[in-house]
């Protein structure tokens, strides 16, 4: 059995497979990945080694075809399995930038945002406010006001739909609604369904011991309060049970539980018509991973919702889901340049790359594992040596991949880490005052810069040096 820290390959088995029904989240590399005549990895018609020469490294390389294909598969699956209205909305915390938001919006998606910054970015990308759902467990007054008054660069003022997480926020919104809006503010209530799933402790959000959502034991009081507020329009319920989930049963259970609560709300007098079941579909990070396809996941959620509604005599709600990782995770790779090698006899061989925990904090945060390839020598025999790929930061835990099976590497090789589109750029930092990498979008042989590489000047742009301290320097 192959462990999650190992990748055994005898002929580019990590390249996309042309198997009917497979979706991007089941691939290690973007769908356009291939080996070109120079024996180099090519993505979106662009040679990765040439991209590094042009744009530098580390470098995020995002494939437009893979991202659009994932969006298309979600839309088509809902059209196939759900006879009611369905709207997939992008969980933009996975990667929020203007280009990513623009592509996904053009595919007919709505957006899930969790901060004022994500909301502002989405609006600046041209997304209408009424297609944006605002999350967060501790929204500020300023963030709530921005959501209520949301207007994009084209002057279209459409307030966002606000996912209310707790009593304080509900009370804040009640006050703001009276002051700022001439029409009722659309809200949804986030509940904690008490459903466990097998994923990392930090990314499980549906169990009862969670910072998110109203406790279901007190939901009748919440329904009664909202019913009395003329300036709030409670349109539905929301729940999210976690991330990087391979099981389908928890989502079946979630649909049943949420429809039951929705019926309670309707019976209490609320005009609920939307049901948001969150996201959580996982992706393939290593050869050993076997997530469900997008089609399988959508079928599970749709069928469970239909069955619950039929059982309880409820009309089909507008069904909303929040894919993030499964849309963009496999669409991106990170290219590094290999540097120093250290051999600890009988223990370990380290190879260092020019990035690490500042551009990919997931290994040190979640103990996440990845696959990798040497982009400039794709025909080199695999599994020649077992190495630990180390980052350049001053931290012993800055390990990109532990016990990776790779060809024998040399200084200057281009090492590509797979499936880095979700939570890598969005969680990146300037630890050790290291500049965050550039990101490029590749499509049909064209490479466009979508995020500029930070400069040293960028690192001190927000710094302030009091004049009294300047005088003491000279």
* The pTM of the whole model exceeds 0.85: yes
Q: Given a cut of 50, is residue 25 above it in pLDDT? A: yes
Q: Given a cut of 50, is residue 199 above it in pLDDT? A: no
Q: What does pLDDT average to over the chain?
A: 91
Mean of the pLDDT values across residues 421-448? 97
Q: Given a cut of 90, is residue 197 above it in pLDDT? A: no
DSSP string, 87-148: EEEEEGGG---HHHHHHHHHTT-EEEE-SHHHHHHHHHTT--GGGEEE--SS--HHHHHHHH
Structural domains for the chain? 24-62+332-449 (2.40.37.10), 64-328 (3.20.20.10)
Give the closest residue to 310 by CA, choosing from 88, 83, 74, 87: 83
Work out the pLDDT band at 471, boundaries 50, 70, 90: confident
Mean of the pLDDT values across residues 362-389? 92
Helical residues (DSSP H) of 125-216, grouped into ranges: 141-148, 167-180
244-268 pLDDT, tens digit per residue, is 998 999 999 999 999 999 999 999 9
Q: What is the per-residue pLDDT for 38?
A: 96
Instruction: Give the count of beta carbons closer than 10 Å to the beta carbon of residue 222.
Output: 21
Q: Given a cut of 50, is residue 9 above it in pLDDT? A: no
Q: Which listed residue (71, 197, 394, 464) is catalytic? A: 394
- Residue 394 is among the residues annotated as catalytic for this protein: yes
Work out the pLDDT band at 371, boundaries 50, 70, 90: very high
Instruction: Give the count of beta carbons closer than 10 Å to the beta carbon of residue 276.
Output: 27
CA dihedral 415, 420, 423, 426 (to 10 degrees): 60
87-121 pLDDT, tens digit per residue, is 999 999 999 999 999 999 999 999 999 999 999 99
Q: Given a cut of 90, is residue 460 above it in pLDDT? A: yes
Token representation of residue 14? 């990590």
């Amino acid at each position: 059995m192959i462990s999650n820290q190992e990748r055994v390959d005898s002929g580019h088995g990590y390249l996309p497979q042309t198997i009917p029904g497979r979706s991007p989240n089941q691939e290690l590399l973007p769908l356009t990945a291939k080996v070109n005549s120079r024996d180099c990895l090519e993505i979106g018609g662009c040679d990765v080694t040439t991209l590094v020469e042009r744009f530098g490294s580390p470098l995020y390389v995002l494939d437009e075809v893979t991202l659009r294909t994932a969006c298309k598969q979600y839309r088509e699956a809902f059209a196939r399995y759900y006879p009611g209205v369905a709207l997939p909305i992008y969980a933009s915390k996975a990667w929020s930038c203007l280009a990513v938001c623009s592509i996904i919006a053009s595919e007919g998606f709505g957006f899930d945002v969790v901060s004022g910054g994500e909301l502002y970015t989405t609006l600046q990308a041209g997304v209408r406010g009424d297609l944006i759902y605002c999350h967060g467990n501790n929204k500020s007054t300023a963030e709530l006001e921005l959501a209520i008054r949301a207007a994009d660069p084209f002057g279209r003022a459409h307030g966002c739909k606000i996912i209310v997480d707790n009593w304080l926020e509900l009370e804040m919104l009640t006050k703001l609604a009276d002051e700022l809006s001439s029409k009722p503010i659309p809200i949804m209530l986030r509940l904690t369904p008490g459903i466990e799933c097998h994923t990392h402790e930090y990314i499980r959000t549906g169990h009862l011991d969670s910072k998110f959502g109203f406790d279901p034991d007190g939901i009748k009081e919440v329904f009664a309060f909202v019913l009395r507020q003329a300036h709030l329009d409670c349109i539905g319920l929301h729940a999210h049970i976690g991330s990087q989930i391979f099981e389908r049963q928890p989502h079946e259970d979630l649909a049943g539980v949420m429809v039951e609560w929705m019926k309670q709300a309707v019976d209490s007098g609320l005009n609920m018509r939307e049901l948001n079941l969150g996201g959580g579909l996982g992706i393939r990070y290593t050869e050993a991973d076997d997530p469900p396809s997008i089609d399988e996941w959508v079928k599970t959620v749709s069928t469970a919702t239909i069955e619950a509604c039929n059982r309880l005599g409820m009309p089909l709600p507008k069904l909303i889901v929040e894919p993030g990782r499964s849309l963009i995770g496999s669409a991106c790779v990170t290219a590094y340049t290999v540097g120093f090698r250290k051999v600890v006899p009988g223990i370990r061989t380290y190879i260092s790359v020019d990035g690490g925990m500042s551009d990919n904090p997931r290994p040190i945060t979640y103990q996440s594992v990845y696959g990798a390839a040497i982009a400039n020598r794709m025909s080199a025999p695999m599994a020649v040596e077992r190495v630990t790929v180390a980052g350049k930061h001053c931290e012993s835990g800055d390990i990109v991949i532990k016990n990776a099976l790779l060809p024998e590497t040399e200084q200057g090789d281009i090492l590509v880490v797979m499936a880095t589109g979700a939570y890598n750029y969005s969680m990146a930092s300037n630890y050790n005052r290291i500049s965050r990498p550039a990101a490029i979008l590749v499509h049909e042989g064209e490479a466009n810069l979508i995020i500029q590489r930070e400069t040293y000047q960028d690192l001190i742009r927000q710094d302030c040096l009091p004049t009294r301290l300047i005088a003491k320097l000279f």
